[in-house]
Structure 1
Amino acid sequence: MAPVDVASLQRRTLRLLCTTQVLGGIGVTIGFAVGALLVAEIAGTAAAGLAQSAAVVGGALLAVPITRIITGHGRRPGLAVAYGVGALGGTLIVLAAATGWIPLIFLGMLLFGGGSAANLQARYAAVDLAAPARRARHLSLVVWATTVGAVAAPNFAALADRVTGGWGLPPLSGPFAFSSAAFVLAAGVLLIRLRPDPLLTARRLAAAVPDGPGEVGPEAAGARSTPAPPPGDPVTAEPVPAPSARRGAGLRAAWSVVRARPAARLGVAAVAIGHLVMVAVMAMTPVHLREFHPVEEVLPVVGLVLSLHIAGMYALAPVVGLLADRFGRRAVILGGVGTLLAACAVAGTAGHHTPRLVVGLVLLGLGWSATMVAGSTLLSESVPDAVRPSAQGLSDLLMGLAGALAGAVSGFVVQVSGYPVLTLLAAVAVAPLLALALRPVPASAPDEED
C-alpha cells in the first residue's frame, strides 16, 4: 500500500465534515423550527407533538440501515444516503402540505429524521483517523460545527416561507423545501469530496500494521503509541474474540462486544442518559415558561432561553474535547454528570424566575455536551475496528430512543406533577450513569483512555 499522509488527510476530512455539518444543521433546524406549526395547521394541535416525535424516532431507527451501509461500504455512502433520506422526507412533507394528506406528513417526518441521523453519525467519521491524544478534540469540532447551522436556521425559516410562497407552495411548507435542498447539497459534497473514505482508510492502515488490529490513527503508518490489547481482553471478564467484518455488521454483535467491555458500556450509557435528561427537561421548559409569561411575551422568551441552551450544547464542545483529551474521558463524563445534576437543581428550583431558569438550561446544555463528546470518544476507542461502526450505530439508536421516550413521558409528568418533579426525576435518571462512571477499573485493565 502506498504511503498515506494521515495527518493531512485527517485535516481535510475535518474541514469537509464541518462544512457538511453546517449544511445539515441548517436543514434539520429550519424544518424543526416550523414543523409543529405546519402539522398543527394540517392535523391539529394534538398531532403536532406526535409528528415531532416521529422525526426523532425516525432518526433513531434509520441509524440501523445507515450503520450497515457504513460498515460494508464506508462513511461516504452511509452519510450521503442518510442525507438523501432526509431530503426525501422534506419533499414528502411539502407534498402533504399541498394535499392535506395527514398520513403522508407523518411518513415525511419519519424520513426527515435521516438528516439528524447523518449529523450524528458524522461525528464518528472525525475519529477514524485521529491520533489517540486528539480524538475527543476532533470529534468535538464536528459537534461544534452544528452550532452555526442551528443558530442561523431559525432566521432563514421566515425568509424561506416568503420566497417559496411566490412559487405556490402552502404556508409553512417552504422551509422544508429548503431543508431538502440543504440535505441534497450536503450529500453531494460528501459523495464528491470525502475521498478517500476515512473509515476504509483506517481499516487499510490497521491491516498493514504487523502486530495486529488496534486503535487506528497517524501512529498506524509507523510507530504505535498504544499497543493492541491481548486476545483475552483484560477489560472484560472473559476473552472476547475479535469479530470479523461480517459479524461486525450486525447490531447484535455490537451489543455483545459493548456489553463485555466496561469502557464501551460507560460510553454508550453516557451518550444515552445525557440525551435523555437533556430532552426531558428541555422539551417542557417552554410549557413551564408559558405558565408565568403573557401569551404575547412567551415566544420571544422561549426563543432566548432555547438559544442560550443550544449555545451551551454546542458552542463549548471544543473545550470539552480538549478537557477529555487532557484529563481523560471518564473524568469529563463525571463532570458532565455533576453539571446535569446542577442543571436539574437550578431549573427545578427556579420557580417563576426566568434568569435562574436560563442558567439551568445553559448548564443542561453543557452537561449534555460533556457526556456526548466524552462518551462518543470513549465508545469509539473501546471496541475493535471491525465492530466499531456497528457499536456507534447502536449508541445512536439507543440515544434516539431514549430522547423519544423522555419527550413522550415528560409531558405527562408535568401535567400530573409539575415541572419541579420532572427535574427531580431527571436527576434520579442520572444515578445509573454516576454508578458506572465511579465503578473501579480492574488493575489488570489497560488504560481505557489512551
Structure 2
Amino acid sequence: MLPSDKTNFSEWRERLYKRTLLTVVISQIFGGAGLAAGVTVGALIVQDLLGNDSFAGIPAALVTLGSALSAYLVGRLSQHYGRRLGLAAGFIAGGLGAAGVVAATAAHQIPLLFVSLFVYGAGTSTNLQARYAGTDLAKPTQRATAVSIAMVSTTLGAVGGPNLVNVMGRFAESLGIPALAGPFILAAAAFILAGLILHLFLRPDPFLVAKDLAEAQKSNKELDGTTDIRSNSPVTGTRGIWVGTTVMLLTQVVMIAIMTMTPIHMKHHGHGLSEVGLVISLHIAAMFLPSLVTGMLVDKIGRTAMSLASGAVLLAAGITSAAVPADSMLGLIVALVLLGLGWNFGLISGTAIIIDATQPANRAKTQGAIDVLIALVGASSGALSGIVVANSSYAALSLAGGIMALLLVPVVIWSRGKPSKEKSGSMTL
C-alpha cells in the first residue's frame, strides 16, 4: 500500500490526503441531501398515517436504532476492509431504506414503513462516519479541521433538502404517491450516489494506508512523514475515549429530542410545510456550516474548551425554544440555529478527542462502537420526546434538554484531571 520510493513520501501522503478529502466532500454533498428527508418529514408521515402525536417520535427512534446497527457494522467493515467498502455499503443500504419508505407511504403499510425507516438509518450513520475518513491521513494539529471540511460539505445537500419539500412533494404527487414521501425519493437517489462515489474513487483506501504507516512506524522504518501519526493530546487512552464519547452523547440527546418535536410543534400552531422546511434547513445549516471555523477553533484553543462552549450554546437553545411564542418564526429559527450550533461544537470537539485517543489498529471499530452508543441514546431521546410533549409541553422538553447540556461541565473538569497513562484503548459492545 505504501510507495516504494521513500524520497517523496511526504508529498505523496499529502496528495493522497487532499484527494481523500475531495472524494469525501463530494460524497457528503449527496449524503447531506439524503439525511434531510428523515429529519423534515419522517415524523409527519407517521402522524399522518396513525393520527396520533404520541407516536411522532417513533421515526427518529427507528432511524437512530437503524443507525446504531449500521454504525457497528460499518465500523467493523472499515476496520478490516477499509473505509471504501464500509462507507459505500452503509450509504447504499440507506438509499434502499429510503426507497422502502416511499413504497410504504404509497401503500399505507405501517410495518413496511417502520422497517424501511430502520434501514434508512444506515445512511444517516454512514453520513456521520464519513467524517472520519478525512482524518486518517491528517496530522494531529489538522484533525478537527479535517473533520470540519467533511462536515461543512454536508451543508450543501442538507440545507437544500428541506427546502425541496414542496418541489419533491409535487413530483411525488405526479407519480401518484403522497406528497410527504417526496423527500425520501430524493434521499434514495442521494444516498446511493454517495455510496457509488466512495466505492469508485476512495482509492487507495486512506484507512488502510494509515494502518500501514502505523506498522511502519512501529517497526522503526525510516519513512518521512510518519512521525506525526501519534496523538499529541493530553487526554488519551481510555480517559480520552470516554470523554469524547460523553461529549457526543450529551449533544446528540439534546439535539434530537428538541429537533424531533419541532415540526410537530410548528404544525400544531398553524405553520405550513414550507415554514417547517425553512426552520429545519436553517437548523441543519447551523449543524454543519460553521464546521470550518469550529474545526480551526478546536485545533487552536482546545478540545475541552469547545466542549464547554457546546454546553453553553445548547443551554441557550433550550431556554430560547421554551420561551419564544409558538407562532414566532424568528424565535423558532433562533432556537433551532443555536441547537444546531451547539451540536456542531460538541460533535467536532468530541470526534477530535476520540481520534487523539486511538491508533489505526483500533480506531475504526472504536469509532463504530461509539457511534452505536450515540445512536442508541439518540433513539431513546427521539422516542421519549413525543411522549414528553404529549404529556407536558414542547417548552418543558426544550428546557429539560438545555439543563441536561450543563452536564458537559463536570465532563470537562474530569478531562482536565491527571492524564491517563494507559495506552490507546478501544471500546467494544
List alignment gaps of at least 5 residues for structure 1: 214-218, 237-259
Question: Are the equivalent residues in 2 in contact too, given 1:206–1:212 (CA < 8 A)?
Answer: no
Higher mean alpha-carbon deviation, 275-284 vs 150-159, is at 150-159
After superposition, the C-alpha distances for 1:149-194 in whole angstroms (9 at most, x for unaligned) are: 1111133344344445555556544543332222222111111100
Q: Which residue of 1 aligns with 2:427?
A: none
Per the alignment, residue 15 of structure 2 pairs with 8
**TM superposition score normalised by structure 1:** 0.82
Instruction: State the SS of the aligned residue for 1:367.
Output: helix
Alpha-carbon spacing, 1:337–1:175, altered in 2? closer, same or farther (3 Å): closer
CA distance in structure 2 between the partners assigned to 1:121 and 1:421 by the alignment: 32
**Conserved? CA contact 2:318–2:402, under 8 Å:** yes
Question: In the aligned structure 2, how far is the partner of 1:444 from the partner of 1:39?
Answer: 47
User: Which residue is 2:417 aligned to?
Assistant: 441
> What pairs up with 1:210-359 in 2 under 5 angstroms?
210=218, 221-222=224-225, 224-225=227-228, 261-289=238-266, 293=269, 295=270, 297=271, 299-351=273-325, 354=328, 355-359=330-334
Q: Can you list the C-alpha shifts for 1:377-409, whole angstroms capped at 9, x where unaligned?
A: 110120232111111112211111222211222
State the identity %.
Answer: 37
Aligned 1:13-412 pairs, distance under 5 A: 13-30=20-37, 32-45=39-52, 49-163=57-171, 165-167=173-175, 169=177, 171-210=179-218, 221-222=224-225, 224-225=227-228, 261-289=238-266, 293=269, 295=270, 297=271, 299-351=273-325, 354=328, 355-412=330-387
Offset at 1:221? 3.6
Partner Cα separation in structure 1 for residue 299 and residue 342 of structure 2: 17
* Structure 2: distance between partners of 1:37 and 1:210: 53
Note closer, same or farther for the CA distance 1:129–1:167 as it changes in structure 2 (3 Å cut).
same
Go from structure 1 to structure 2 and tell me whether the alpha carbon gap of 1:367 and 1:177 turns closer, same or farther (over 3 Å shift): closer
Amino acid at match of 2:376: L
- Counterpart amino acid of 2:188? S
User: Which structure would you say has the larger RCO, counting Cα contacts within 8 Å and 6 or more residues apart?
Assistant: 2
Please report the RMSD computed on the Cα atoms of aligned residues, expressed in angstroms.
Answer: 3.0
CA distance in 1, matches of 2:148, 2:64: 22
Deviations 1:345-395 (A, max 9, x none): 333333558344433332221111001001011101202321111111122
* 8 Å contact from structure 1 (residues 157, 175) kept in 2: yes
Compared CA separation, residues 328 and 19, structure 1 to 2 (3 A): same
Instruction: Name stretches of at least 5 consecutive residues in structure 2 with no aligned partner.
Output: 425-429
**Residues 32-53 of structure 1: CA distance to partner in whole angstroms, max 9, x if unpaired?**
5343444455554555542343
